[in-house]
Amino acid sequence: MNDSTADQLLRHPCFNANARHYFGRLHLPVAAGCNIQCGYCDRKYDCPNESRPGVTSQLLTPQEAIDHVEFILKNHPTISVVGIAGPGDAFHNPAVTLEVLARIRAAHPDIILCVSTNGLNLPDYVDYLSRLRVNFVTVTINTLTPAIGTRIYDYISHHGRIVQGPEAVTILTRLQLQAISLLKRKGLRVKVNTVIIPGINDADISLTAARLADYRVDLMNLIPLIPVPGTPLADIPPPSAALVQQLRWQAGKFVPQMTHCVRCRADAVGLLNQNNTLFDLTDTQTKES
């Protein structure tokens, strides 16, 4: 970990549980589309009251995102982190993500930059992220076992080819682990999100954690499944609180566990315990002006 990352860790509300009381995050919904299909994801379903990853009231262009950043940072001084976390995958269209991150970095040398991805395309961009001092990266890894992954992922789109079945999971997990290895070599902090899908990957999660420990993953975030109507995994009930606790305890033997995740929308902004979206706070600008 470099000095800059160590200092930023004190102000990151997700990577540092203590910081969440004082520092907030701003998610920019600029990442449209995705290069894989998870069985629990439907980005078309949006409701203003809904709070879960993949949901946003609106997609932003890079220029709109920059305008929002300037307004929010000026008016909400608790924001320490600007991140891209959907609504699709940040590296499905890497040009947009990298343009936004580079422009924010140029204007705000001290802001913490953060990005969240499924990792499929990530290895190609690790050098650039490191140069931009995007010191915090989250990779969603639901399993490293192909037979389980085939029950979670419908397909991946790799080098213009749709791949399904065990081959798809093998490619995805190889690139996820390769990306993490490169990120750690560059000194970045890496969090892995794992969606707990009862009856599918719950018995496999401690094995995943053990392998992630070999890659020096800094933090693991076990996220209870939110069944979304119309998706292939809609009928699976979410894990009980007891199961979540048990899995965190088991996985925590290998990788430190995040226990304060609030499963934010792709346009969330503010302290983690506030339910604001970017567009709520920007409406304030319109009403006040």
By the 8 A CB rule, do 247 and 205 touch? yes
CB atoms within 10 A of CB 42: 17
Nearest to ligand SF4 of 85, 137 (CB atom): 85
Q: Please state whether beta strands 276-277 and 268-270 pair in parallel, antiparallel, or not at all (unpaired).
A: antiparallel
Other C-beta atoms lying within 10 Å of the C-beta of residue 260: 13
Q: Closest distance between ligand SF4 and the C-beta of residue 123, in Å?
A: 16
Part in contact with ligand SF4 (CB under 6 A); list of ranges 60-68, 182-190, 261-269, 281-289: 261-269
Out of 102, 207, 261, 271, point to the residue binding ligand SF4 (CB under 6 A): 261
Is the omega angle on the peptide bond into residue 87 within 30 degrees of 0, that is, cis?
yes
Contact between 108 and ligand SF4 (CB under 6 A)?
no
| CA contacts within 13 A on the Cβ side of 155 | 10
| Cβ atoms of residues 172 and 117 within 8 Å | no
Q: Among residues 11, 158, 184, 263, which is the contact residue for ligand SF4, using CB under 6 A?
A: 263
Q: Of 216, 56, 183, 67, nearest to 117 (Cα)?
A: 183
From the list 123, 60, 67, the residue with the least C-alpha distance to 96 is: 60
217 near ligand SF4 (CB under 6 A)? no
* 85: its two tokens: 């976390």
37 scored as a contact of ligand SF4 (CB under 6 A): yes
Cα separations in angstroms, 104 against 19, 99, 116, 130, 172: 22, 9, 16, 15, 29
Where in 48-77 is the site for ligand SF4 (CB under 6 A)?
54
Residue 221 or 277 having the CB closest to ligand SF4: 221
34 is a contact residue toward ligand SF4 (CB under 6 A): yes
If one asks whether residue 97 binds ligand SF4 (CB under 6 A), the answer comes out as no
Our finding on whether 41 is near ligand SF4 (CB under 6 A) is: yes
Size of the site for ligand SF4 (CB under 6 A): 19
SS3 161: strand
Residue closer to ligand SF4 by CB (options 51, 289) is 51
- Cα of 247 vs its chain's centroid, Å: 20
Footprint on residues 119-158 left by ligand SF4 (CB under 6 A): none
By CB under 6 A, is residue 38 in contact with ligand SF4?
A: yes
Task: Show contacts with ligand SF4 in window 172-211 (CB under 6 A).
Answer: none
Which CB atom, from 63 or from 231, has the smaller least distance to ligand SF4?
Answer: 231
Q: What is the DSSP letter of 12?
A: -
Chain residues binding ligand SF4 by CB under 6 A are 14, 25, 34, 36-38, 41, 54, 85-86, 88-89, 118, 221, 261-264, 272
